[in-house]
Structure 1
């Protein structure tokens, strides 16, 4: 079973917002895109640039350093092949936003932004 870390209360991150969180020495960026929460490592796989301030167009994040684009739903560059972001599973339990840092990289990282029942 993976270890899940509470990073926020679920309703703190409104649609269109992002939040930088530091968990166990890692920098993670959370995005709320139309009510779905995505969590990624704050390091571009190209040269490690911070992605927290990247331009967001729908679900596609552009790295501010070199302009590479990544789909936050998959972690992958649009099209075929290319680099992939490290993404993290996100869950909402009892009104808390939980991120799991364990498990394979480049997993889909989304969860409905509604309390789990």
Structure 2
């Protein structure tokens, strides 16, 4: 069963920015890259470090702890499809933004 979380308007990041969200017991990072929104689990799959504050290059986020780089669109570690961070689809309905979580 899916949960549609409505992102509060003040938490929708502007272009080039990011926001931190807590949905129930999960922590998410929401990024706005050239008007496209990406939502990921904030925990690096390597050892759980926060990805929210990582270095952002295009649609790639770099983990602060060990330097691993993940594609925000796929969640995959650069150059690998076997190690990835959880990504969540974004839905837009009029002016509202929803993150779809399973």
Give the TM-score taking structure 1 as reference length: 0.80
Aligned length: 102
Task: Report the equivalent of 1:44.
Answer: 44
**Gap runs ≥5 in structure 2:** none
**Gap runs ≥5 in structure 1:** 103-117
SS across alignment from 2:8: strand
Q: 1:10 touches 1:97 (CA, 8 Å); kept in 2?
A: no
Q: 2:61 touches 2:69 (CA, 8 Å); kept in 1?
A: yes
**C-alpha distance in 2 between matches for 1:90 and 1:8:** 14
1:67-106 aligned within 5 A: 67-102=67-102
Q: 1:49 touches 1:63 (CA, 8 Å); kept in 2?
A: yes
Report Cα offsets for 1:55-93 as digits up to 9, x if no partner: 000111100000000011111012134410101111111
41-50 or 78-87, which moves further after superposition? 78-87
| RMSD (Å), alpha carbons | 1.7
Correspondence 1:7 to 2:7? yes
